[in-house]
Amino acid sequence: MAVDIVILAAGKGTRMKSALPKVLHELAGKPLLGHVIDTAGGIADSTVTVVVGHGGEAVRAHFDGVPVRWVEQQQQLGTGHAVLQALPLLRPDATTLVLYGDVPLIGAATLDTLVASVAGDCLALLTVELRDPRGYGRILRDDQGRVTGIVEEKDASPDQKRITEVNTGVLAVPAGCMARWLPTIGNDNAQREYYLTDLIAIARRDGLAINTHQPATPEETEGVNSRQQLCQLERHYQRQYAFGLMAAGVTLADADRFDCRGELQAGEDSFIDINCIFEGRVSLGRNVHIGPNCHIRDAVIGDGAVIKANTVIEGPVTLGRNVDVGPFARLRPGTALGENARVGNFVETKKAEIGPGSKINHLSYIGDAGIGSGVNVGAGTITCNYDGVNKFRTLIGDGAFIGSNTSLVAPVTIGANATVGAGSTITRDVPDGELAVARGRQKNVEGWQRPRKPEKE
């Protein structure tokens, strides 16, 4: 069945108190509209049309290159009027599915069920039961439980306002019906707007049945109209993501202090402490331990790795089995650590391949470097990789020992099993097995007197 999906994203979002269009505000690191587009794109044999209005240029620019069609609603005259703008793009032989750019958590399974229940003699409507239905249109049913219409809250009677089954706005309409029905919608209501919900009464008039379905959770259909609502949905999303990880065998110290803003895969018996943020695509092997307050983006981390507190990983980064990183380490793009490598506190790496069993334990910067296996890099070591214009590489062979407070001025190669004395500035290659010492000669001055401040009177 062909499906034409129309996503309504023209609202200003006044209650957000923001210059940013509402649908560009982020949930879990992705714009609200991005969540809806991604879900819609997963429906088979579908096209996606987005109706924009306020901030439309910014919305289009953000999704430049995304395979959707765009139409503009110059005046915000209601949901019916918004879908009318997309009408010329809708195929007469396709089911029309209407979604909302500020309802980010609608599930693919929910939409598949909804679309599958549409036929030539019935349309499908997504409803939800709410304890507090204030602000929502109420579902009206006859004595036999059949849907007869939807009444908006501003137009509802006191009895109708007590109804707890409400309209989500999400509906699927049989092929060809939109073209016939939309032009007949009026605006005889309190808001003087063209309500898409009027399609229900029109369908009944034409003898079509109204099939209703409900989502797995009410949060699937919750919209974002304020920063408070955005915060509430964020926490719901993160909690559900955390529960999914735990069901797969991962331990989280606290599901309410966990944030995934991308995709996270984790192997069994891994542990994630509090206040960790995962962005982009992150893969954790088995028995990985992530300490508190870590920020990890675009990384592949091998089995048994330990990432200690307050470590920042900015990928792409690849960490081998049983590595030990942190605390307070920063691994930047292009870092790769071999098995059992160690990067300790206040160490920064970038474009650095660090071999198995090598150690950079303290207070060092290693950039544009290739380090072999079993290398020890002392505290305060710096690879001087940038001359103000170009960057150069430092190569350190297997088993080398780099003394503390050493500057390695690239391009330079330190041979296998070579030793560099502490405090050296190395500007020439060091052959295999040799000792290099490059520092000023020490001079001791006998009888030297330290200057003293004059005594105050």
What's the pLDDT tens digit per position in 95-134?
999 999 999 999 999 999 999 999 888 999 999 999 999 9
Q: What is the pLDDT of residue 189?
A: 77
What's the pLDDT tens digit per position in 164-210?
999 999 999 998 899 999 999 988 877 788 989 889 989 999 999 99
Catalytic residues: 362
CB atoms within 10 A of CB 371: 28
State which fold the 227-436 domain adopts: UDP N-Acetylglucosamine Acyltransferase; domain 1 (2.160.10)
Answer whether CATH 3.90.550.10 is correct for domain 3-221: yes
Range 337-351 average pLDDT:
98
What's the pLDDT tens digit per position in 288-298?
999 999 999 99
Local confidence band at 140 (pLDDT 50, 70, 90 cut-offs): very high
Contact 304, 285 (CB under 8 A): yes
Local confidence band at 34 (pLDDT 50, 70, 90 cut-offs): very high
Q: Which residues contact 298 (CB under 8 A, 6 or more apart)?
A: 279, 280, 281, 282, 314, 315, 316, 317
What's the pLDDT tens digit per position in 223-267?
999 999 999 999 999 999 999 999 999 999 999 999 999 999 999
Q: Structure pTM?
A: 0.90
Domain boundaries, the chain: 3-221, 227-436
